[in-house]
Structure 1
């Protein structure tokens, strides 16, 4: 699997990134930014980015926590059960404000636009848990640069905050896909209804679906990982990207 390890200069510093492209194929390919869950970039997300690349994409995997320096990786099997690790995890999540992720996304898209492996000036974004929320924030705040956005077991998509992603619907120009988890208090049936109404009123092409897996179903090192749901999520995401991102 071809992989480039590089650094992207953002308005806030230097972000380490990995760029994955299909093996044994000639590009260029549509560019996609993959946002990890709260555990950040780790081996399981390298594997996921490589898998997405094999469907015909140049996939950028950024260290979203780069501002925190050389941070220690999380063990997602135990992080939420350990009080200290949970506190550290929640702190790290809190550092990724909408303004910060918007600035970062602009730098990531500039980087992709300048790579010979990448075609087009509009990109895909996908994310998991925390990254699912980031994907919709970026779709709303960088509408001219996002052609497709996919969120899987994303939380906080509908909140009372002025920064809630659903309040950005009127600005979105991307095709949006949301895959919700069962019994997930961070994205409930009521949240889905509100998000659907906002996207429909804004004329955004979108799909909101429910998966029978629990929160974390698509990420292999999460305890609730569900292989059948994970395979379904790959099919759904690549269908959306294939229809919305020109080759």
Structure 2
């Protein structure tokens, strides 16, 4: 499967990114995949390859490129609970510096770069993301209603910007929440905001999960929930993307 490391021109420099494409050449629908806070690493590359194998041109940007190329902090092969506090202590200043203004500026650059790739077909794209990447995906879809046909976010703080932030969504949406992240009451309030926005969506708590359940290099990993994520994501993309 063809893969590349790329550099995306942005208003603040060049963002490094990983890209994966289907075998056999040709053009394919584009998917912008935002990583979780730990960034581009083997598990994200594997997920991008998996998605590319289903016929998509997948771009995974380094969210924190302003602080250096990925990985922006040293990561062990397995991110266990015993090392998470120290890693997050290094990451939190970068997360806090990644303002909404920066995120939206980057989204413009990422979408323009993705759709300009020779492997990317004409037509709308999808955005998907994990943890903070799911929030970035949601912001991207809301800011580009004419360009983004599908939005998927997993174990992500998608309501962090308030219910009004969802009002511009025109993409078909799937939100997959960790049981440890969202109470049934909070889920009801989020879904009410999606109803008010007129969104075409599914939004559900994945049973028995904790934050980070899709990531196989963490203690949070839940294989059944990861499969459920693919079972939701792939039909969504199949319904919404041309080609």
Normalising by structure 1, report the TM-score: 0.90
Offset of residue 190 of structure 1: 2.7
Tell me what 1:19 maps to: 19
Would the alpha carbon gap of residues 57 and 166 (structure 1) be closer, same or farther in structure 2, given more than 3 Å must change? farther
Greater mean alpha carbon deviation, residues 92-101 or residues 144-153: 92-101
Partner of 2:155: 153
**C-alpha distance in structure 2 between counterparts of 1:48 and 1:54, whole Å:** 10
| Corresponding position: 1:229 with 2:225 | yes
Distance 2:87 2:206 in 1: 28
Distance in structure 1 (CA, Å) of the matches to 2:116 and 2:240: 21
Instruction: Check conservation: 2:130, 2:156, Cα contact below 8 A.
Output: yes
Q: Identify the residue that residue 210 of structure 1 maps to in structure 2.
A: 205
CA distance in 2, matches of 1:99, 1:120: 28
Superposition RMSD in Å: 1.7
Q: Give, in whole Å, the separation in 1 of the partners of 2:82 and 2:53.
A: 32
Q: Which residue of 2 aligns with 1:54?
A: 53
Within-5 A mapping of 1:75-154 = 75=76, 77-78=79-80, 81=83, 83-154=85-156
Equivalence for 1:166? 163
Q: 1:53 to 1:165 in 2, by over 3 A?
A: farther
Indicate the SS of the match to 2:29.
strand
**Structure 1: distance between partners of 2:29 and 2:106:** 19
Provide the rounded CA distance (Å) in 1 between the counterparts of 2:215 and 2:58: 17
Matching residue of 1:73: 74
Aligned pair in 2 of structure 1 residues 101, 83: CA closer, same or farther (>3 Å)? same
Alpha-carbon distance, 1:82 to partner: 5.4
Structure 1 residue runs without a partner (length 5+): none
Which of these residues, 178, 182, 191, is aligned with residue 179 of structure 2? Answer: 182
* 3-state secondary structure, aligned to 1:120: coil
- Secondary structure of the structure 1 residue equivalent to 2:32: strand
Question: How far apart in 2 are the matches of 1:101 and 1:29?
Answer: 25
Which residue does the alignment assign to 2:237?
241
CA distance in 1, matches of 2:176, 2:137: 13
Q: CA deviation at 1:158?
A: 2.1
Q: C-alpha distance in 2, partners of 1:81/1:3?
A: 30
TM-score normalized by the length of structure 2: 0.92
Tell me, in whole angstroms, the C-alpha distance in 2 between the residues paired with 1:206 and 1:49: 23
